[in-house]
Amino acid sequence: MVQKLRLLKESPSQTAGPYVHIGTNPNWVEITGVWQEDLGLVLVDPETKGERIIIKGRVFDGAGDPLKDALIEIWQADAEGLYNSPQEKRGKADPHFVGWGRQPADGMTGEYRFETIKPGRAPYKDGRLMAPHITVWIVARGINTGLHTRMYFSDEEAANAKCPVLARIAHKARVPTLVATRAEENGLPTYTFDIHIQGEKETVFFDI
Amino acid sequence: MSDQGSFYQRDRSWHPLAFTPSYKTSVLRSPQHPLLSLENTISELTGPVFGHDKLGPLDNDLLRNFAKTGDPIGQRIVVYGRVLDENARPVPGALLEFWQANAGGRYRHKKETYLAAIDPNFGGCGRVITDEEGRYWFRTIKPGAYPWPNGVNDWRPAHIHFSVFGHAFAQRLITQMYFEGDPMIWQDPIVATIPDKSAIEQLVAALDRQNTLPMDALAYKFDIVLRGRRSTMFENHMEGN
């Protein structure tokens, strides 16, 4: 026998199931009066610094159908590239920006939508700057362990080309699966980020 | 030894695989490419903080937080435990959100069609933030088992869903709690997505007769373990800091 190493194992994941919204967005499924508002719907207030943007998209299964029961969370830096978290040691993030959002996919169309700001750049482990990006986490019925991916910006070509994380993707043809395309909609820059769980256009997912 | 380094890699043989044909919905909702292993960056080592000010006084009381005319029908229970990391250290300030069916196995959700009755006094959602020692507790009723469309006669064992935020986005976890002694655990295609029997047992809450509330409610203990971090002693510091 030898001495024991670490004491515990991580609790195994289980699917969020079809009714995840009861626990995360009860008001959205008409369970009203339990708490005032569902968490994560609003990311910005009038004093938040940075360029206002819309992010929208759908999550597709291997048959090409959009998931209408998915739940999408995002986590991002502020306009200066700082995270609003105690683990952030480089400086103090914008107090008007938490950086975390959560939206259910629309029950009819499968579309999700966030109103947020464009993040600044944060460093990779070795100090090189990563391109601006948003961390995305997807759960739904049929997804046994939540899927982590990243959204990058189509108007950041130079930064994307030098991003040490995007450089890790061996199959260069798959890099565009992480890049959201920018367009103007109702006067706001709108990025479309469709996520393909499976199939020819399968999104790159990370084991972080 | 501080624990500010990267997280231990997730043990993918302990978690369910993505592609689990006995749980049919997973077939078209599972990536086929390997996941790209990424050493943690600041984007994964950080995470949102939820303050106690976000919570209301009845958020951890499912007996009362949706009650209209009285208490919900069902076996009254207390669920309690701790949120720890893999280094067995408590995780204070963790937000837990939970949701469940009522005593008859019916969820209050607009897309749910199971014929068991809705309970007018039961919403089925709650949340809590762990204290300085990582502890939490809430009151509810024991959920019922229910049939679901997978095989023609598949039933879910009684369970409570948990969503957990630790201190970093890398620790984000959704899982389910089962109840000690339930024979239906071992017939469930969703439980069976977990390949390791000891891993399944980690999700089975223990009936705790010592902490039963006399003449009131049974108690179940359910500890949750989130990923732990390496000591910074073992980190590479390429920039010489």
Q: How far is Cα A32 from Cα B216, in angstroms, rounded to an integer?
A: 27
Q: Per the CB < 8 Å rule, is B14 touching A36?
A: no
Stretch B194-215: mean pLDDT, rounded?
Answer: 97
Of A11, A135, A147, the CB nearest to B202: A11
- Name the residue among A139, A135, A157 with its Cα closest to residue A206: A135
Kindly indicate the confidence band of residue B237, based on its pLDDT and cuts at 50, 70 and 90.
low
pLDDT of residue A4: 82
Residue B3, pLDDT > 60, answer no
Flag whether pLDDT at B207 surpasses 80. Answer: yes
pLDDT tens, position by position, B124-146? 999 999 999 999 999 999 999 99
Measured between beta carbons, which residues in chain A are less than 8 angstroms from residue B25?
141-142
Q: Tell me, yes or no, whether B16 lies in a domain.
A: no
**Which residues, listed in sequence order, are joined to residue A159 by a DSSP beta bridge?**
none
Kind plus residue range of the DSSP H or E element containing A64: none
Q: List, for residues B68-94, the tens digit of each pLDDT value.
A: 999 999 999 999 999 999 999 999 999
The answer to whether B107 is a known catalytic residue is: yes
Of A61, A57, A78, A50, residue with least CA distance to A182: A57
Instruction: Tell me which of A44 and B4 has the higher pLDDT.
Output: A44
Number of neighbouring beta carbons within 10 Å of residue A133: 27
Task: Find chain A residues with C-beta within 8 A of B227's C-beta.
Answer: 10
Residue type, A183: A
Q: Identify the segments of chain A with pLDDT beneath 50.
A: none
Select the residue of A19, A35, A144 nearest B107 (Cβ to Cβ): A19
Please report whether residue B90 resides in a domain.
Answer: yes
List, for residues A27-72, the tens digit of each pLDDT value: 999 999 999 899 999 999 999 999 999 999 999 999 999 999 999 9
Phi-psi region of B215 (alpha: psi -120 to 50; beta: other; left: phi over 0): left
Question: Which whole number is the average pLDDT over B227-235?
Answer: 80
Element (H, E) at A23: helix A20-24
Contact B36 A205 (CB under 8 A): yes
Residues of chain B with pLDDT > 90, as a percent, come to 89
Please give the pLDDT value at position A5: 80
CB pairs under 8 A between A and B: 269
For the domain that residue B198 is a member of, what is the CATH number?
A: 2.60.130.10
The alpha-carbon gap from A186 to the nearest alpha carbon of chain B, in Å, equals 30
Specify the pLDDT at position B2: 46
Q: Is B109 a catalytic residue?
A: no
How far the first Cα of chain B sits from its last, in Å, is 17
User: What confidence score (pLDDT) does residue A3 get?
Assistant: 86
For chain A, the structural domain boundaries read 41-196
What 3-state class would DSSP assign to A167? helix
Selection from B4, B5, B163, B9 nearest residue B83 by Cα = B163
Mean residue pLDDT of chain B comes to 94
Q: Are A95 and A80 within 8 A, CB to CB?
A: no
Closest CA to A194 of A90, A14, A64, A3: A64
Q: What is the pLDDT of residue B53?
A: 85
**B12 part of the active site:** no
In the predicted structure, residue B239 carries a pLDDT above the cut 70:
no
Taking the mean position of all CA atoms in its chain, how far away is CA A75?
6
Are A8 and B26 an interchain contact pair (Cβ–Cβ within 8 Å)? no
**What percent of chain A lies above the pLDDT cut of 70?**
100
A9 contacts B199? CB cut-off 8 A: yes
- A144:B176 CB<8 A: no
The pLDDT assigned to B241 comes to: 34
Looking at chain B from residue 4 to 33, which residues have their Cβ under 8 Å from any Cβ of chain A? 4, 7-12, 14-18, 20, 23, 25-33
Is B159 catalytic? The answer is yes
The Cα A73–Cα A21 span in angstroms is 13
pLDDT for res A21: 97
- List chain A residues with CB under 8 Å of B50: 39
ipTM score for this prediction: 0.96
Whole-prediction pTM:
0.96
Q: Where are the beta strands (DSSP E) in chain A?
A: 52-60, 71-75, 100-104, 111-117, 133-139, 147-153, 179-185, 188-192, 195-196, 206-207
Question: Is the Cβ–Cβ distance between A79 and A93 less than 8 Å?
Answer: no
User: Do B16 and A14 make contact, defined as CB atoms within 8 angstroms?
Assistant: yes
What are the respective helix, strand and coil percentages of chain A, to the nearest 5? 10, 30, 60
**pLDDT at res. A200:** 95
Q: Which residues of A touch B107 (CB under 8 A)?
A: 19, 22
B230-239: long-range pairs with CB below 8 Å, 24+: B230/B3, B230/B5, B230/B6, B230/B7, B230/B8, B231/B1, B231/B2, B231/B3, B231/B5, B232/B2, B232/B3, B232/B4, B232/B5, B233/B1, B233/B5, B234/B5, B235/B5, B235/B6, B236/A125, B238/A125, B238/A126, B238/A127, B239/A126, B239/A127
Query: Within 10 Å of residue A138's Cβ, how many Cβ atoms?
Result: 23
Alpha helices by DSSP H, listed for A115-172, are 157-162
Average pLDDT of the residues in B223-234: 88
Strand blocks (E) in chain B: 36-37, 76-85, 95-99, 125-129, 135-141, 146-148, 154-156, 159-165, 173-179, 204-207, 218-221, 224-226
pLDDT value at residue A36: 87
A41-196 folds as Protocatechuate 3,4-Dioxygenase, subunit A (2.60.130)
DSSP A159: H
Judging contacts by C-beta atoms under 8 Å, the chain B residues touching residue A29 are 108-110
* B237 against B81, higher pLDDT: B81
Please report the pLDDT score of residue B240 as a whole number: 38
Rounded average pLDDT over B178-197: 98
Contact state of A20 with B17 under an 8 Å Cβ cutoff: no
For residue B234, name the pLDDT band (cuts at 50, 70, 90).
Answer: low
What share of chain B has pLDDT > 70, as a percent?
95
